[in-house]
Amino acid sequence: MELLITYARPYWKKITVAILAVTMMALATLTQPQFLEKMMAAIIADKSDLILKNGFYLLLLALVGIVAGVTGTYFASQVSQSVAADIRQAEYEKIQQFSLEQVQSYSSANLVVRLTNDINQVQQLVMQSLQMVLRVPILFVGAIILSIWTLPSLWWVVLLMIVLIVLSSKRIFAMMGRYFGKIQQLIDQNNTLAQENLSGVRVVKSFNQQGQEEASFAQNTQELTDVNRRIGYLFNLMFPIFMLISYAAIAAAMLFISTSIKEAPDQLAKITPFITYLNQILMALLMLGMISTFASRGFVSLKRIAGIMAEKTEHQKKGNQLAMAKEHFLTKELTVRDVSFTYPKAENAVLHDLSFTLPAGQTLGVVGSTGSGKSTLALLLARLYQADAGQITVDGHAIEEIASSDWHQSVAIVMQKPVLFSGTIASNLKMGKEDASPEEMAEAVDAAQAADFVDAYPDGLEHEIAERSANLSGGQKQRLSLARALVKKPRLLILDDATSALDARSERRVQDVLANDFQKTTKVIIAEKIASIIHADQIIVLDAGQIVGVGSHNELLSNSPVYREIYQSQKGKGQEND
Ligand SMILES: Nc1ncnc2c1ncn2[C@@H]1O[C@H](COP(=O)(O)OP(=O)(O)OP(=O)(O)O)[C@@H](O)[C@H]1O
């Protein structure tokens, strides 16, 4: 609720207009039966001038009601859309600041639902609240008072109708309530399934898994449909029950009036407004039902959004952070001291007590068998995860202390699985350096051995990259993500198996560029092939999350059996670089 108030506050003027308009509409609705009564009396008394006069007032009231209604809806819709857009933007910005751990703990599909479906629920809640917030109490209380004022002897009919409607709707809403939370959960699952299936469409097709995928999706959709249908049934049940109660009330009113009509003939004119008031009470209760439905769904969604907004991001957790300009970043050394790490929700640590020092400007090679923790070390160095124990420091400062914006200015990582975004080659490269000139981009493309295919496109750097970079080969994607890191001219460059798809000649050229043009850059190169790191100043050998060898290539050959074994197994494949 607090969240909603914060985001609605800037629109208080429009909110006031919307509420005033809706109030006016409710007052017009309440006044209408009064003129109806006068008109009925005029008809009974056969006074045509009075019929005309009251008919005119009735028309005028209807007009006021329409204008007020349109104005109210217009402003309510403007406010609800603006509030929803503001919350969506703020939520998106917050998610952007999330750590990898936070994103993974929610799952990306869940975050998408929180940004789309949940925001829509909140928008509906704002819209409906503005339309009904004063209208419902005014109509409800006003119609009760006026109905009893019109025919005081029938007060018990009014009361009985209200009690019966409230009791039956309470029962129905209690049954509905438990389904609303379930709906959000099922939508999350639905999104996860669709996202996974579509992003892995090639695998699904090649393994002929469409049937299996369809079955899982169908099961989830079926559950979602069942829950929605149950809510629908309950809703559909509500209206006939309400109508039944109100018709019973009208019938009872008619019956009692008919017995006293001879003694009090003026009651004939009053029965029509009385019935209209009963209908208005029913309308108010129906609206109350609707708003509570939107409220139940809207508040579930608001709570989920508030959960995101309340997450502490790294920047907030650390308080004042150390500013470190790019030119002063990593001028001495990068040290890793007794670092251990366990993935969130995992049982066993994947890195154990790692320690090494890398002087600025040098190259560290990291080798090890599959699953030995090489990528995990890269993620810790890139500050995408935080070590559970031990410390990583840059020039003596713990990396978490350094302002994250400064950090990201100075560090670049090329992941094992390259990720590019839909847009152009240039727009992807500019993620590395926002204001990169065409020359700088061309230089980076050249350094990453991507010039051949980029220059072959008639539109060069402006060539479009499709969604999930489906129009690029694996090697092209890898080269472009390398170019994106190089254009940044980072102080710390982390390459996680980033040249695996390059032929030996291209890889050697990349190594030459790194050695000659990136001398001030400290490099961490993770590689499957020893040939990729053979010239590194220092190589560490990882095995089951532990360092089992440190030294240069020649030192390791003589003193690390694990390294020697890897080298022997690759001999003949990667010797070109030897
Ligand atoms: N997000 C994660 N959650 C839980 N465990 C993970 C996660 N990512 C990796 N692991 C586990 O951590 C261990 C180390 O994985 P890592 O990716 O660092 O290995 P690697 O040496 O880079 O392997 P490869 O050479 O195959 O890329 C593996 O046992 C893996 O199963």
Ligand 1 centroid from CA 378, angstroms: 11
More confident of the two residues 539 and 261? 539
Q: Which of 74-88, 154-168, 229-243 has the lowest mean pLDDT?
A: 229-243
Per-residue pLDDT at 118 exceeds 70: yes
> For residue 213, what are its two tokens?
């995928």
Q: Which residue has the tokens 């669709």?
A: 194
Give the DSSP per-residue string, 435-486.
T--HHHHHHHHHHTT-HHHHHHSTTGGG-EE-GGGTTS-HHHHHHHHHHHHH
Indicate the top mutation candidate among 107, 374, 524 to test ligand 1's pocket, ranked by most ligand atoms within 8 A of CB: 374
Helix, strand, coil tally for the chain in percent (to 5): 70, 10, 20
Ligand 1 mean position, distance from CA 548 (Å): 18
Q: Which residue has the tokens 């043009």?
A: 517
Of residues 425 and 258, the one with the higher pLDDT is 425
| Residues 15 and 79: beta-carbon distance below 8 Å | yes
**What mean pLDDT is reported for the chain?**
87
Ordered DSSP codes for 374-391: HHHHHHHHTTSS--SEEE
Beta bridge mates, 539: 365, 551
Which atom of ligand 1 is least distant from the CA of 379?
Answer: 18
Mean pLDDT of 498-507: 86
Q: Is the beta carbon of 376 within 6 A of some atom in ligand 1?
A: yes
**Residue 445 has what pLDDT?**
94
| Mean pLDDT across 338-350 | 91
Q: How far apart are CA 258 and CA 541, in angstroms?
A: 99
Q: Which residue has the higher pLDDT, 175 or 157?
A: 157
CA of 530 to the centre of ligand 1 (A): 20
Nearest Cα residue to atom 26 of ligand 1: 370
What confidence category does residue 574 fall into, taking pLDDT thresholds of 50, 70 and 90?
very low
For residue range 455-473, what is the model confidence (pLDDT) as tens digits?
Answer: 999 998 999 988 777 888 8
Mean pLDDT value across residues 408-413: 90
Q: What is the CATH number of domain 326-577?
A: 3.40.50.300
pLDDT of residue 316: 60
**Which is the closest atom of ligand 1 to the Cα of 526?**
22
Q: Is the pTM of this model over 0.80?
A: no
Cβ of 344 closer than 6 Å to ligand 1, yes or no, is no
**CA-based max dimension of the chain:** 120
Q: Quick one: pLDDT at residue 205?
A: 67
Please indicate whether residue 368, judged by its CB atom, sits closer than 6 Å to ligand 1.
Answer: yes
- Does the beta carbon of 350 sit less than 6 angstroms from any atom of ligand 1? yes
User: What is the pLDDT confidence band of residue 553, given thresholds at 50, 70 and 90?
Assistant: very high
User: CA nearest 410: which of 335, 492, 496, 331?
Assistant: 492
Residue 462: per-residue pLDDT: 93
Average pLDDT of span 49-61: 88
The response to whether residue 99 sits with its C-beta less than 6 Å from ligand 1 reads: no
The pLDDT of residue 573 is: 55
Q: What is the pLDDT of residue 325?
A: 82
pLDDT confidence bin for 577, thresholds 50/70/90: very low
User: Which of the pair, 313 or 114, is modelled with greater confidence?
Assistant: 114
Distance, CA 375 to ligand 1 centroid (Å)?
7
Start-end of CATH 1.20.1560.10 domains in the chain: 2-310
Pocket test for ligand 1, best of 350, 379, 526 (most atoms within 8 A of CB): 350
The confidence band for 319, taking pLDDT boundaries of 50, 70 and 90, is low
What pLDDT is recorded for position 232? Answer: 86
**Per-residue model confidence (pLDDT) at position 179:** 82
The pLDDT value given to residue 529:
87
Phi, psi (degrees; rounded to nearest 5) at 548: -110, 5
Average pLDDT score over residue span 224-231: 89
* % of the chain residues with pLDDT over 90: 44
100 lines ligand 1 (CB under 6 A): no
Whether ligand 1 lies within 6 angstroms of the CB of 371 is answered as yes
Q: Is the pLDDT of residue 578 over 70?
A: no
pLDDT classification of 575: cutoffs 50, 70, 90: very low
At residue 208, the pLDDT reads 67
Mean pLDDT along residues 506-532: 91
- Predicted pLDDT at 375: 94
pLDDT digits (tens, 9 = 90+) for 23-53: 999 999 889 888 888 888 888 888 888 888 8
Q: What is the pLDDT of residues 474-486, one digit of tens each?
A: 889 999 999 999 9
Alpha carbon distance 177, 173 (integer Å): 6
As a whole number of angstroms, the distance between CA 390 and CA 353 comes to 7
Please check the confidence at residue 350 and state whether its pLDDT lies above 70: yes
CA–CA gap between residue 278 and residue 164 (Å, rounded): 13
Residue 318's pLDDT is what?
59
pLDDT exceeds 70 at position 299: yes
pLDDT, position 576: 43
For 2-310, CATH gives 1.20.1560.10
For the chain, how far is it from start to end, CA to CA, in angstroms?
A: 66
Q: How confident is the model at residue 202 (pLDDT cuts 50, 70, 90)?
A: low
- To the nearest 10°, report the CA torsion of 213, 214, 215, 220: 100
Nearest CA to ligand 1 atom 1: 343
Type and span of the H or E element at 262:
none
| pLDDT on residue 314 | 66
Q: Where in the chain is the domain with CATH 3.40.50.300?
A: 326-577
